[in-house]
Amino acid sequence: MNSEIHLVVLPVFLVIGLGFSLKRTGLVKSDFLFDLNRLIYYIALPALLFYKIATSDFSSNFNGSLLAGLIVSILVVFFLTYGYGKLRKYPPVVHGAFCQGAFRGNLAYIGLAIIYNAYGEGGFAIAGILLGFLVPVMNFFSVIALILPQRKENYELGTMFWVQQIASNPLIVASFVGIVWSFLGIPLPEVADRAFGILTGMSLPLALIAIGASFSFRKLRGDLVLAALAASIKIIILPLLAAVLLVLLGVRGQDLAIGVILAGTPTATAAYIMAQQLKSDAELSGAIIMLSTLFSLATYTVALYLLQLFEVNFPLS
């Protein structure tokens, strides 16, 4: 395979491997990892998203067809996996975890890292704007996937519930503010620009290290066959479906590659947390996350190779 592909994919997974090694050798402790994840989730990644989106040209970086293709592909997988789980009569807690694991991708941590490695600032700006729309969609349908099979009366799904889901997610808030800032063309003061430049340099490396440090083979428990099915849907079927839809919508070149990379992200680590909070099968969610992340090294390599066959090259900025 082309060496450029390895330069895009391997560095990302080597940093994830570094995080895994740091945890195994005891240089990163569980307490520190908890604080590190909070720092990344509440400060580092929101700052990165806001900064890269706010300082980009919204009109030239927003592609409505690309966004539409990704949303439709996510919804198709949601409905298909939810219907499949209902047809197979999975227990409610298993049903929700399976469905969520098949469509909720790790866009912010792994997706952005690979896109930045392949396409630099320009690709990152496009992906960041997409995240401002995709993250709320994924959050909404994740909650639906986990709650609907259980139909518990104690779940309040009124307006305030959804406002809280959005307002309490720093990635959504940062992306939204960045989109508005970019759309209005507000200049960022030079002092703030330099400060953000320093702060955001740590975001993606720390996020990848945190993913690796969070790995535990003890999470590979429960129904591994079902976990493998959900993982396969997430990292193989979803990106293939997205690619077909995007081509039909006329999306080509770099935008097509960005769409495939985002669609092919492994299951988000947040899926485990949400499964716990909404009393679903967190064990199954953990197994789906582990399997999809481990095998995404191979699926990303194949996907990027196929994209290069269609002359979508990587400037490696």
Residue 2 in this model has a pLDDT that exceeds 90: no
CA pair distance 255, 262, nearest whole angstrom: 11
CA pair distance 198, 103, nearest whole angstrom: 34
Which three-class secondary structure state does DSSP give residue 45? helix
**Residues 256 and 316 sit within 8 Å (Cβ to Cβ):** no
The residue among 104, 101, 72, 114 whose CA lies nearest residue 258 is 114
Work out the burial of residue 112: count CB atoms within 10 Å of its CB; fewer than 13 is exposed, 13-18 middle, 19 or more buried: buried
pLDDT digits (tens, 9 = 90+) for 167-197: 778 888 898 899 999 999 999 999 999 999 9
CA pair distance 18, 28, nearest whole angstrom: 11
The residue among 78, 51, 76, 72 whose CA lies nearest residue 259 is 72
- Residues facing residue 105 across a β-bridge: 267
Residue 140 in this model has a pLDDT that exceeds 80: yes
Considering the four listed CATH numbers 1.20.1530.20, 2.60.40.1120, 3.40.190.10, 3.90.550.10, the one that applies to the domain covering 3-307 is 1.20.1530.20
CA pair distance 70, 64, nearest whole angstrom: 10
- 8-state DSSP, 28: S
Q: How confident is the model at residue 25, as a pLDDT?
A: 93
202 Cβ contact list (under 8 Å, min separation 6) = 44
Chain Cα centroid distance, residue 281: 20
**Residues 151 and 278 sit within 8 Å (Cβ to Cβ):** no
Percent over 70 (pLDDT), the chain: 94
Residue 90 structure tokens? 């999975």
Average pLDDT over residues 236-261: 96
Average pLDDT over residues 148-154: 70
The top-scoring range by mean pLDDT among 38-52, 77-91, 149-163, 220-234 is 77-91
**Residues 209 and 17 sit within 8 Å (Cβ to Cβ):** no
Residue 56 in this model has a pLDDT that exceeds 70: yes
Q: Torsion angle, CA of 85/276/266/135, rounded to 10 degrees?
A: 100
